[in-house]
Structure 1
Amino acid sequence: MLQQTDRLALAVPDAAKSAADLNAIFDSVVIDDSVDADANARRITLQWGFDQLELFEPLGDGPVAEFIEEGKRGLFAGGFALDDPGHLAGKIADAGIPVTQQGDRYMVFPKDLRGTGVILSPMQENEKAGMNDRIWQITYTVPNLEEGVEFYGELFGLQDALTSYYTSQVWGYRGAITWFHSQKGAGLDSLEFLDPYEHDKAAGRFLAKTEGIGGIYMSC
Structure 2
Amino acid sequence: MLDYVDRILVAVRSLDDAEHNYSNILAAHKIDDFESPWLNARVRRMALGSTQVELCEPLGAGTTQKHLDQWGEGLMYGGATTGDLDAFAQQLIAGKVKFTRADDRLYLEPADLHGLPLVVSRTHKQPRAEGPVEFLYELTMVLSSPWQDVASRYSEGLGLQPERNVGITFERFGYVGALMMFDPDRLDRIELSEAHDPAFAMGRFSAKRGDAFYMCYVQTDDLAAIITRLEQNGQRYTRRTQTPTERDGLWIHPSALNGVLMGVSRHSLAWQWSGRPDRVHALQEL
Q: TM-score, normalised by structure 2?
A: 0.69
* RMSD after superposition: 2.0
Gap runs ≥5 in structure 1: none
Matched AA of 1:216 = F
Partner of 2:23: 23
Equivalent residues of 2:139, 2:216 under 8 A apart: yes
TM-score w.r.t. length of structure 1: 0.89
How many residues are aligned here? 215
2:148 to 143, 146, 149: 146
Q: Which residue of 2 aligns with 1:85?
A: 85
Higher relative contact order, structure no. (Cα contacts within 8 Å, ≥ 6 residues apart) = 1
**Contact kept? 1:39, 1:64, Cα under 8 Å:** yes
- 1:176 is matched with which residue: 175, 178, 183? 178
Is the 1:168–1:175 contact (alpha carbons within 8 Å) kept by the matching residues of 2? Answer: no
Shift of 1:28: 1.5
SS of the counterpart of 2:71? coil
2:216: which partner in 1? 219
Query: Which deviates more from structure 2 when the two are superposed, residues 47-56 or residues 66-75?
Result: 66-75
- Identical aligned residues as a percent: 29
Amino acid at match of 1:191: I
Structure 1 residue ranges (4+ consecutive) displaced by more than 3 angstroms after TM superposition:
93-98, 109-114
| In 2: Cα distance, 1:189 partner to 1:161 partner | 15
Residues 152 and 54 from structure 1, CA distance in 2 versus in 1: closer, same or farther, beyond 3 angstroms? same
Distance 2:72 2:110 in 1: 10
1:61–1:103: structure 2 CA closer, same or farther, 3 Å change rule? Answer: closer
Query: Match of 2:107?
Result: 107
Task: Give the Å deviation of 1:182.
Answer: 7.2
Closer, same or farther: CA 91–136 of 1 in aligned 2, 3 Å: same
Report the alpha carbon displacement of residue 208 of structure 1 after superposing the two structures with TM: 1.8
Whether the aligned pair in 1 keeps the contact of 2:181 and 2:187 (CA below 8 Å) is yes
Instruction: Work out whether 1:131 is the aligned partner of 2:132.
Output: yes
Once residues 15 and 57 of structure 2 are traced to their aligned partners in structure 1, the CA distance between those partners, rounded to angstroms, is 5
Distance 1:10 1:33 in 2: 14
**Bigger radius of gyration among the two:** 2
Is contact 1:86–1:105 with CA below 8 Å preserved after alignment?
A: no
Instruction: Answer whether contact 2:83 2:123 (CA < 8 A) is retained.
Output: yes
2:68 corresponds to which letter in structure 1? I
